[in-house]
Amino acid sequence: MAPIQVPAAMAFYDDADDLMYVTEKARVEKGYKDLDAYTPYPVHGLEDALGLKMSWVSTVARMGLVAGWGLGFLFQSWTSAIDWPVNIGGKPFVSWPAWIPITFETGVLLAGFCNLLALFVACGLYPRPKTVIVSKRVTNDRFTLVVPIRENQTEAEVVAFLREHKALKIKIIDGIDKERQRVIFRAPMEEEPVTA
């Protein structure tokens, strides 16, 4: 989960299709950046609608796979040809066809470990004292889109866009209380104050 950016508008929807539609519109037509979504179950295609890039975790797993293949093959070569060479039935000391299953298994084992560690790093799943949870009910039965409000945007503009696209409810994330592990919400302002 990405860190929560303050201030931001949080819009609730009943349907995954509505969330996909408004997310695509917000990113492509309005140019909103750093969107985030919370859903009760995985929604196919939401990563494309949010504009997320391909994860680097699969690259780390592939590198672990190749390294595991190499290490498995080198270990078997070293034990059979250098450390304890035994001539069995006239076979060569480096009899690679017999080593393919173990080479494959060491590759899969190291790829699995690398994938797990990379996933922990990518998702921030390491021990930390305080984790801020947006809302305990946000992924129970609603689909939520979070739109950060930037300097060049007004709160009223973002709220009007979300209301135009049939948001059931809109909250403004006004701050984060790290001591109580809570997000501070407020209702959206109807109009921006006019400065004279």
Encode pLDDT of 38-58 as tens digits. Answer: 898 999 989 888 888 888 999
**Could you tell me if 137 and 89 lie in one domain?**
no
Residue 154 has pLDDT above 70, yes or no: yes
CA dihedral angle for residue 78, residue 83, residue 87, residue 90, rounded to 10 degrees: 20
**Could you tell me if 78 and 98 lie in one domain?**
yes
pLDDT band at residue 193, thresholds of 50, 70 and 90?
very low
H and E: helices and strands count for the chain: 5, 5
Whether 192 maps to a domain, the answer reads no
Place of tokens 């009943």: 14
Q: Give the structural domain span for 82.
A: 57-123
CB 99 within 8 A of CB 73: yes
Number of domains in the chain: 2
CB 17 within 8 A of CB 173: no
Which one is predicted more confidently, 191 or 154?
154
Residue 174 has pLDDT above 50, yes or no: yes
Least confident span in 12-21, 115-124, 148-157: 148-157
The DSSP string of 136-190 is: TTTTTS-EEEEEE--TTS-HHHHHHHHHHTT-SEEEEEEEEETTTTEEEEEPPPS
**Could you tell me if 38 and 88 lie in one domain?**
no
pTM over 0.85: no
**Could you tell me if 46 and 72 lie in one domain?**
no
Question: Residue 88: its pLDDT value, please?
Answer: 80
Question: Residue 101: its pLDDT value, please?
Answer: 93
Average pLDDT, the chain: 84
**Could you tell me if 31 and 82 lie in one domain?**
no
CB 17 within 8 A of CB 196: no
Provide, rounded to the nearest whole percent, the portion of the chain with pLDDT above 70.
91
Question: Residue 195: its pLDDT value, please?
Answer: 47
Range 97-124 average pLDDT? 92
